[in-house]
Homo-oligomer: A and B are copies of this chain.
């Protein structure tokens, strides 16, 4: 995979697809990544009856139309979770899966927050809480960690198990396929909170029991992106943007449900278009 693009887009829902389409329409190169492109909210909409220009149809059908058009425009959707966005002299490096991809500007279009943050998760981010085994795994060599896996491929957990002394695994039962390394211990309870004062000291279970760990890894698909780009302003769950879809970080734009309510397809498409045009302007293109 070539690893330099004009615009990097995180998330392939209506906002991300619209942004990618717009970049191609302006004849610039785009890197579009989504770790779980089939898990977005549009596909789960039984019926979209308010997208101007098209008759009512199931969300899956509307998405197929969008995809066909975006593919036609030459866009590839990379099935990779973007785990970090690192500013570098006015442009950016994206950690996409295990690769680094370099882009001139970024559009965040990861959708509505996939879940509420757990107590302690945000406070202890970077102090034991991580979303990326390949980035932070080595810090936990020989230590105990917890891993939360939501339907994703287990490869990050297996990598953790190579480093850590023990991995407490929180995942749906149908997601557990032995054999796996003996230091992975599935926990048949849900994780309720991350505990610790200065750094992670444990995880609290639904039963009230606490497991002592030094690290907690969340592999839960769409990430709380607001916390992965240093310097973003947020209001509640939403990333704050202005009318040009610019976030507080120069060169980083956001579009769609990540920017807050109302969650609507036409809003996301329009915002994605603006974010892409403004990202190209930021690059002077």
Contacts and interface: CB of A to CB of B under 8 A. Distances in A.
Interface string A254-283: 000001101010111111011001100000
Interface stretch (A16-24, A30-38, A151-159, A199-207): A16-24
A262 B274 contact: yes
A153 B22 CA distance: 40
Given A267-B274, A270-B266, A277-B262, A53 B65 contact: yes
A244 to B, nearest CB: 9
Contact of A62 (B53, B259, B270): B53
Q: Which secondary structure characterizes the binding site on chain A?
A: helix
A3 interface: no
A40 to B, nearest CB: 15
8 contacts: A14-B52, A21-B52, A25-B49, A25-B50, A52-B273, A243-B259, A264-B270, A267-B274
**Chain A interface size range:** 35 or more
Nearest to A73: B50
What 4 pairs across the A-B complex have the smallest Cβ distances?
Answer: A270-B270, A267-B270, A266-B273, A266-B270
B53 A51 contact: yes
A277 B259 contact: no
Most buried by B among A14, A54, A278: A54
A69 interface: yes
A66 B271 CA distance: 19
